[in-house]
Amino acid sequence: METGSLPSPDGGAPPHRFSPRMRNARAETFVVGLVAAVLCYLLVTFRGMERGEATWISVAVGLVAYGLYAFRIRLRGLQSVEIADETLSVTDRAGTRVVRWDEVVDARHTYYGGDRWVIRSRDGRPGLNLLLDGYPPEEAARINRLIRERLPEGDASGGRA
């Protein structure tokens, strides 16, 4: 949920602050497990397996997918985002990482492993990985739009992978 914005110290536009919710992350995790179970069921029944056995296998696959996705969220934690005209700040369990927009050399947006951004800057540090777990779809779309709007003009990726 985007939080209230205070004016920036230099008098410019206030930063956009977003905080994920564990409730949304749990819903995403449930959907991942459900989709995995349904896909598994369709695949094994089209291969000729009887429905009872296919159901048990699909439930097991769904639970494994649910567990792995939940473990990933638990292990990595959720990330808060602050998008200002000059910087992108991402806060998680490891602390806060800040990247200046004018220092970005590569930015890639992908849905591999969830809605995410991989942003590299000139300073040579490892890339900033922003996972949008725990955000409602409309809020994640707003974050994606705000990032794309602030990417340097010369970024070859255009903010998309």
Structural domains in the chain?
A: 22-76 (no CATH), 79-150 (2.30.29.30)
Which pLDDT value is given to residue 6? 46
* CA pair distance 89, 15, nearest whole angstrom: 10
Q: What is the mean pLDDT of residues 90-96?
A: 90
Which pLDDT value is given to residue 156? 42
Note the Cα 153 to chain centre separation in Å: 23
User: What pTM did the predictor assign?
Assistant: 0.75
Which pLDDT value is given to residue 158? 45
Question: Per mean pLDDT, which of 67-71, 113-117, 121-125 is the most reliable?
Answer: 67-71
Q: What is the DSSP string of 51-87?
A: HHHHHHHHHHHHHHHHHHHHHHHHHH---EEEE-SSE
What mean pLDDT is reported for the chain? 86
Of all residues in the chain, the percent with pLDDT exceeding 90 is 64
Give me Rg for the CA atoms of the chain.
19
User: What tens digit of pLDDT does each residue of 2-52 get?
Assistant: 444 444 455 566 799 999 999 999 999 999 999 999 999 999 999 989 999
Amino acid at 98: V
